Amino acid sequence: MIEFDEQKKRLVLKLVYYGPALSGKTTNLLTLHDQLSLDGRGELMLLDTAEDRTIYFDLLPFFYVSPSGMKIKLKVYTVPGQVRHDATRKAVLQRADGVVFVADSHAAQMSVNFESFDNLEKNLSMVGLSIERLPLVLQFNKRDLPDIVPDDDIRRAWGPTGLPVFMASALKGWGVLETFQEILGLTFDAVNARHGLTARFGVEREVFLSEILRVQQ
Amino acid sequence: MNKGKPQISFVVGEDRCLAEIISRTEIEPLLRSLVKAGPVWAVVLDEDRLPLCRQGDDRPLEKLREISHPLLVEGEPQGMLVIAFDPLACGGAEALALLARDALQLTITNNLKRMLTTEMHTSIVQESYDQLVETNQRLTKSEGRYRELALQLERKVEERTTELQKAYSRMLQQEKLAAVGGLAAGMAHEINNPNGFVHSNISTLGRYVERMKEMLNFYQLLIAANTPLQQMREDTEQRRRTLKLEVVFSDTAALLEQSLEGTDRIARIVADLKAFSHVDERGDSDADLNVELERILSVLAPQIPPGTAITKGLQRLPPFGCNPGLLSQAFFNIIQNAIQSRSEGLQLNIYSENPGDEIVIRIADNGCGIPVDNLYRVFEPFFSTREVGCGTGMGLAVAREIIKGTGGNIEIESEEGSGTTVTVRLPNRNLAAIKVNHE
């Protein structure tokens, strides 16, 4: 959690899209930006890139104000996936409230996915977060492409982790909202359990989710 | 990671207030031009509605119209641009306000991006630097440890070398004792043999002396009784025959001769043994190696299998400066191996020569030989093919050490089943030469 000021009734949360290089993390954010209503969100901020690859991070902010006046700001980040930007990934992961792991569905990318997931686990523990407790959702992206690992195989390989798994094509625009909704719900539940958002501040889960997830008309 | 060290702490996502992102000096020129273009005043307010920068006149508000636009930070309204204008005097104020808002918004967004990238960059550089410092410290520490280890290792090697040298001299002593012990068994037999017949000869001589005493007593008796001469001649003749004194006399000489020969033999054996062990000598002296070889052969004589043909080709050698006790130990070991190489039909050849500036001694046998696989190991300490208890495995190892110690070398050629030749080459030097070299 980035900030929680009870006096000012202000809460700033951080979600991070993690995963190997070129798995579609930025495309996820672009799709959210395109599909969700401008009312509940800010502009997508893309920091400097090199050859169209993220080298720092991308940021898409969301806002929600509860009837009781509780202001919740949700900052959704991507990390650079290339191995060499590990320090940046670690910096972006700091104080994250939830992580979406975007995996590449291509058959040749499975070991790369595992490596990146290991890297996530290592970096989480380095910034003092526990992969066991942190809300975490898996997304297998690029389902629209040929030569992908079948659903069954993915569920067999990743099912034992107990993590929610989503199939998506960020480029075609499907599966992205579902993934986001899941991590949003899990993150809300985790923060609610710790800080009593509903009990103390009257923030209702379903209202919060539907406000953030308002689809553009 | 680096406790107690000042560090830039930066968390991606921390909110920034407007004053941190955009400075007064950036806003001021914009507002000034804005006011010049018509509006009476313009102000930028921060998130707490406090003015960050203001330009223009303070005129009563009722005559003026106000336009305000929010300023967004990360999409969230955090500040406000407010302009006031006289609706009668200033046309197009809305357009001016929008233009100014866009200009401010662009500056804010760009500044924020720059701040984020700079902070991110700085924190990454700092982290990498910290890691390098840490790695460097670790390397320095491990280098120190290795240096210490190396020092310890040197000391250990020195200690072990000293121990090894001590063990080696102990081993030489033990090897010598073992050889003397082995010799003693053979020698005992050699000495017992003459000792046995000298003993038996002396008992026989004792009995002979008794008979002679009896004869002399008989004479005295006859004389005392004034026996007539003729009678005396007959009686004594009779007694001489009874006592077989003719045989006794002739045998006595033989017995004495034999016994003296026996004691001489014992004396010679003892002398050989003493000379071989060089017990009376200390340190180096000039030795005639041929004499040493002969002596070794004689002390080994009891161990030489019967029917052995020994061929000696010993040419005159110059005196060789060495510790004779040690060097004869070396040759003893080599010759003993040759003797043990075959239990019958042994041919043992011992040659010495002095071609030019070296002394060459060659000991060859027609014994069992050494298998090729073992040939390169024969000089290894404790390498032995003999049964446990029958060999120390030190013989050739000791021989080589001794010979190397005199500046010489030892070579061994062998063919399994047909025999072994050991060649020892020694430098041509006497004691005087060694002393000159040392000075």
**Which among A214, A143, A148 is positioned nearest to A173, based on CA atoms?**
A143
B87, B122, B140 — which closes off a domain?
Answer: B140
Among B9, B12, B76, B112, most A C-beta atoms within 10 A, so best to mutate, is B12
Q: Indicate whether B368 and B352 sit together in one domain.
A: yes
Beta-carbon separation of B74 and A59 below 8 A: yes
Note the pLDDT of residue A173.
Answer: 93
Q: Which residue has the tokens 């040929």?
A: A146
Residue type, position B359, single letter? I
Note the pLDDT of residue B424.
Answer: 92
Contacts for B306 with CB less than 8 Å, ≥ 6 apart: B344
Beta-carbon separation of A61 and B123 below 8 A: no
Chain A partners of B14 at a C-beta cutoff of 8 Å?
2-3
Note the pLDDT of residue A171.
Answer: 94
Two tokens at A36?
Answer: 């969700």
CATH number, domain of B125, equals 3.30.450.40
B143 to chain A, minimum CA–CA distance in Å? 28
Q: Does residue B170 belong to any structural domain of this protein?
A: yes
A191 to chain B, minimum CA–CA distance in Å? 17
**Which among B297, B303, B305, B304 is positioned nearest to B276, based on CA atoms?**
B297
H or E element in which residue B369 lies: none
In chain B, the residue whose alpha carbon lies closest to the alpha carbon of A48 is B117
H or E element in which residue B300 lies: helix B289-300
Using DSSP, state whether A156 is helix, strand or coil.
Answer: helix
Neighbours of A31 (CB within 10 A): 22
Q: Indicate whether B86 and B51 sit together in one domain.
A: yes
C-alpha–C-alpha distance, residues B402 and B408, integer Å = 9
Q: Which residue has the tokens 């050629």?
A: B413
Note the pLDDT of residue A217.
Answer: 74
Chain A partners of B127 at a C-beta cutoff of 8 Å?
87, 90-91
- Please name the residues between 128 and 147 in chain B that touch chain A, using a CB distance below 8 Å: 128
Q: Tell me the DSSP string of B181-196.
A: HHHHHHHHHHHHHHHH
Q: Does residue B320 belong to any structural domain of this protein?
A: yes
Pairing of strands A98-104, A136-141: parallel
Among A47, A71, A79, most B C-beta atoms within 10 A, so best to mutate, is A47
Pairing of strands A53-54, A49-50: antiparallel
Cα dihedral B222, B228, B229, B235 sign = negative
Count residue pairs from A and B with Cβ separation < 8 A: 61
Chain A partners of B70 at a C-beta cutoff of 8 Å?
none
Beta-carbon separation of B12 and A43 below 8 A: no
B72 to chain A, minimum CA–CA distance in Å? 9
Q: Indicate whether B268 and B286 sit together in one domain.
A: no
In chain B, the residue whose alpha carbon lies closest to the alpha carbon of A65 is B76
**Which among B90, B107, B85 is positioned nearest to B21, based on CA atoms?**
B107
Q: Which of A48, A56, A95 sits opposite B11 (nearest CB)?
A: A95
Chain A partners of B126 at a C-beta cutoff of 8 Å?
none
Note the pLDDT of residue B138.
Answer: 94
In chain A, the residue whose alpha carbon lies closest to the alpha carbon of B123 is A91
**Which among B276, B418, B289 is positioned nearest to B362, based on CA atoms?**
B289
Q: Indicate whether B431 and B290 sit together in one domain.
A: yes
Instruction: Give the number of domains in chain B.
Output: 3
Q: Indicate whether B257 and B297 sit together in one domain.
A: no
Q: Does residue B226 belong to any structural domain of this protein?
A: yes
In chain A, the residue whose alpha carbon lies closest to the alpha carbon of B125 is A87
Return the bridge partners of B267, or none: none
pLDDT tens for residues A178-206?
999 999 999 999 999 999 999 999 999 99
pLDDT tens for residues B136-158?
999 999 999 999 999 999 999 99
Q: Indicate whether B125 and B179 sit together in one domain.
A: no
Residue ranges covered by each domain of chain A: 3-212
Q: Between the CA of residue B222 and those of B210, B214, B230, B243, what are the distances in Å?
A: 19, 12, 12, 17
Beta-carbon separation of B15 and A73 below 8 A: yes
Q: What is the ipTM of this complex?
A: 0.82
C-alpha–C-alpha distance, residues B138 and B140, integer Å = 5
Q: Does residue B119 belong to any structural domain of this protein?
A: yes
Chain B partners of A36 at a C-beta cutoff of 8 Å?
none
- Supply the range of the domain harboring residue B330: 282-438
Q: Answer whether B115 touches A (CB < 8 Å).
A: no
Q: Indicate whether B322 and B424 sit together in one domain.
A: yes
Note the pLDDT of residue B439.
Answer: 55
Among A62, A72, A73, A212, most B C-beta atoms within 10 A, so best to mutate, is A73
Note the pLDDT of residue B8.
Answer: 42
Note the pLDDT of residue B187.
Answer: 72
B29 to chain A, minimum CA–CA distance in Å? 27
Two tokens at A136?
Answer: 């975490």
Q: Which portions of chain A are predicted below pLDDT 50?
A: none
Q: Answer whether B237 touches A (CB < 8 Å).
A: no
Q: Does residue B13 belong to any structural domain of this protein?
A: no
In chain B, the residue whose alpha carbon lies closest to the alpha carbon of A45 is B74
Q: Indicate whether B429 and B286 sit together in one domain.
A: yes
**Which among B321, B194, B324, B201 is positioned nearest to B253, based on CA atoms?**
B201
Q: Which of B75, B117, B127 sits opposite A42 (nearest CB)?
A: B75
A15 with A69: CB under 8 angstroms?
no
**Which among A36, A29, A37, A89 is positioned nearest to A59, based on CA atoms?**
A29
A47 to chain B, minimum CA–CA distance in Å? 6
Beta-carbon separation of B127 and A87 below 8 A: yes
Q: Between the CA of residue B17 and those of A47, B14, B78, B107, B224, what are the distances in Å?
A: 19, 10, 8, 14, 162
A98 with A182: CB under 8 angstroms?
no
Fold classification of A3-212 is Rossmann fold (3.40.50)
Beta-carbon separation of B117 and A56 below 8 A: yes
Q: Indicate whether B364 and B266 sit together in one domain.
A: no
Using DSSP, state whether B37 is helix, strand or coil.
Answer: coil
Give the sheet arrangement for strand B41-45, strand by strand: B51-56, B41-45, B76-85, B65-73
Q: Which residue has the tokens 């949003």?
A: A184
Note the pLDDT of residue B5.
Answer: 42
Q: Which residue has the tokens 């982290």?
A: B127
Q: Does residue B160 belong to any structural domain of this protein?
A: no
B73, B106, B140 — which closes off a domain?
Answer: B140
Q: Answer whether B116 touches A (CB < 8 Å).
A: yes
Q: Which portions of chain B are predicted below pLDDT 70?
A: 1-10, 59-61, 176-180, 182-183, 185-186, 277-282, 382, 387-393, 437-439
Beta-carbon separation of A91 and B120 below 8 A: yes
Note the pLDDT of residue B217.
Answer: 93
C-alpha–C-alpha distance, residues B37 and B95, integer Å = 11
C-alpha–C-alpha distance, residues B81 and B74, integer Å = 17
A67 to chain B, minimum CA–CA distance in Å? 18
pLDDT tens for residues B42-88?
999 998 999 999 998 876 667 788 899 999 888 888 899 999 988 88
Q: Which chain A residues have any C-beta within 8 angstroms of a chain B C-beta?
A: 2-3, 12, 14, 41-43, 45, 47-48, 56-57, 59, 61, 63, 73, 75, 77, 87-88, 90-92, 94-95
Q: Which of B13, B14, B75 sits opposite A41 (nearest CB)?
A: B75
Q: Does residue B161 belong to any structural domain of this protein?
A: no
Helix axes B229-242, B93-224, angle to 10 degrees: 150
Q: Does residue B187 belong to any structural domain of this protein?
A: yes
H or E element in which residue A54 lies: strand A53-54
C-alpha–C-alpha distance, residues B380 and B421, integer Å = 18
